[in-house]
């Protein structure tokens, strides 16, 4: 199987030993506490699950600035986005060497992890703005990633962590949430050697379905990992339970048996476009995947990124040999009325835009909310039905 990123073995930060886990949980009750923001909590979940291997905890300010500027930590580890624990309120943890990190997304704020505090540093507004410009390619507060990152807090708390639970993800998504450790184990159990990963924060329409099948065939893979984000999204995005149900229905009806693993991971969407595409590739390598699909405007939002910036970053800013996972670069896919099948638009040179069935997200939402069927060339009817029920219940 493909090696994890940055080490020979995967080193998840979740404490699996039950005796040690019990001891740490008891210790946490007597430690100074910090209530995390959702972004820091999501980072803890990803560290615990092994997705952010080989990191051992939260970055310090120098590493965060270095990663934002040149995609490397100060000691030379290639990494695409800062992994930080920021806050505005350090009163309860001043001078503490060890603190309990509490979960903002679960009632009662249980302890999510324990952190050894190596430093508490103040980050200036100018430094935050500079990092936003480098990570998101904009400082515009209308960008949801910039808005979130700008408001995370003016103190950076760095140091290694030990993770004690996976927040709400295991409870809310028991059939879908999987750690990188669990995905690697299942790939081994299935006997798969080549695995293509597909990232999604949306339901999958016909074009996404066919893209996975194209990649599966093109690289002669044994299976596809459909890996959906289960964390926080921007307003208007479709909730994870609805996406999960729609994707499961599509796979059940339209994919051959034993060719798809439907899983999810506990992270909040960054909307960082190219930088996030690289992060997605890195943690899919940690999950045991050999190939990763990067399509048009991957992890983008609005018109902040060029259509294929998330592909060119792998050629321009990812050092040769840094990642072992291979990138399957995909064009926009759409149903061709001429050919009566889904194609990559770059392969249909004799087509005009009128030859394709393309609907904007706004038009799709309006149709579903009005109870109108989506074209069968755009969406499987069984998938459209699940989405329609969601939009009509919202209305």
Give the active site residues.
201-202
Contact 312, 272 (CB under 8 A): no
Closest among 41, 39, 68 to 129, alpha carbons compared: 68
Judged by DSSP in three states, 110 sits in coil
Q: Which two tokens stand for residue 154?
A: 């003016």
DSSP 221-232: -SEEEEEEE-S-
Instruction: Report the C-alpha gap between 47 and 25 in whole angstroms.
Output: 18
CA 281-289-148 angle, to 5 degrees, is: 30
Neighbours of 73 (CB within 10 A): 19
> What b/e readout covers 346-366, taking b as 16+ CB neighbours within 10 angstroms?
eebeebeeebbbebeeeebbe
Instruction: Report the C-alpha gap between 356 and 348 in whole angstroms.
Output: 10
Supply the DSSP symbol for 3.
P
Classify residue 30 as left (phi > 0), alpha (psi -120 to 50) or beta. Answer: alpha
- In the chain, which ranges are continuous DSSP H helix? 18-28, 38-48, 61-70, 125-136, 144-150, 169-172, 180-190, 206-218, 240-254, 274-286, 309-316, 361-369, 381-394
Closest among 380, 379, 333, 384 to 356, alpha carbons compared: 333
Chain centre distance of CA 198:
11
How far is the CA of 214 from the CAs of 124, 211, 309, 329, in angstroms?
47, 5, 22, 11
Neighbours of 170 (CB within 10 A): 15
């Amino acid at each position: 199987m493909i090696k994890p990123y940055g080490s020979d073995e995967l080193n998840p930060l979740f404490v699996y030993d039950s005796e040690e886990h019990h001891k740490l949980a008891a210790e946490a009750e007597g430690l100074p506490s910090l209530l995390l923001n959702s972004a820091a909590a999501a980072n803890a979940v990803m560290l615990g699950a092994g997705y952010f291997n080989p990191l051992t905890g939260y970055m310090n300010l120098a590493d965060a600035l270095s990663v934002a500027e040149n995609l490397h930590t100060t000691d030379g580890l290639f990494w695409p986005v800062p992994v930080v624990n920021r806050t505005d309120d350090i009163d309860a943890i001043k001078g503490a060497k060890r603190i309990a990190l509490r979960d903002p997304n679960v009632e009662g704020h249980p302890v999510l992890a324990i952190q050894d505090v190596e430093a508490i540093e103040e980050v200036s507004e100018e430094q935050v703005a500079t990092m936003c410009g480098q990570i998101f390619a904009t400082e515009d507060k209308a960008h949801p990633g910039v808005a979130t990152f700008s408001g995370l807090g003016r103190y950076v708390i760095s140091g290694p962590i030990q993770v004690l639970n996976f927040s709400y993800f295991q409870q809310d998504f028991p059939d879908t949430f999987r750690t990188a450790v669990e995905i690697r184990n299942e790939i081994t159990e299935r006997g798969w050697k080549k695995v293509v990963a597909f990232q999604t924060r949306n339901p999958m329409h016909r074009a996404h379905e066919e893209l996975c099948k194209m990649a599966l065939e093109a690289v002669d893979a044994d299976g596809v990992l459909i890996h959906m984000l289960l964390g926080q999204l921007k307003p208007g995005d479709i909730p994870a339970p609805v996406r999960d149900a729609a994707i499961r229905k599509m796979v059940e009806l339209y994919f051959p048996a034993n060719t798809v693993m439907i899983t999810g991971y506990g992270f909040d969407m960054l909307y960082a476009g190219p930088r996030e595409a690289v992060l997605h590739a890195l943690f899919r390598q940690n999950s045991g995947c050999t190939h990763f699909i990067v399509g048009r405007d991957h992890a983008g939002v609005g018109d902040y990124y060029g259509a294929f910036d998330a592909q060119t970053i792998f050629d321009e800013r990812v050092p040769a040999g840094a990642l072992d996972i291979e990138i399957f670069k995909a064009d926009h896919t759409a149903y061709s009325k001429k050919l009566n099948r889904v194609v990559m638009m770059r392969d249909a040179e004799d087509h005009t835009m009128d030859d394709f069935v393309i609907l904007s997200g706004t038009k799709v939402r309006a149709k579903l909310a009005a109870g109108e069927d989506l074209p069968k060339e755009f969406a499987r009817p069984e998938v459209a039905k699940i989405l329609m029920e969601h939009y009509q219940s919202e209305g």
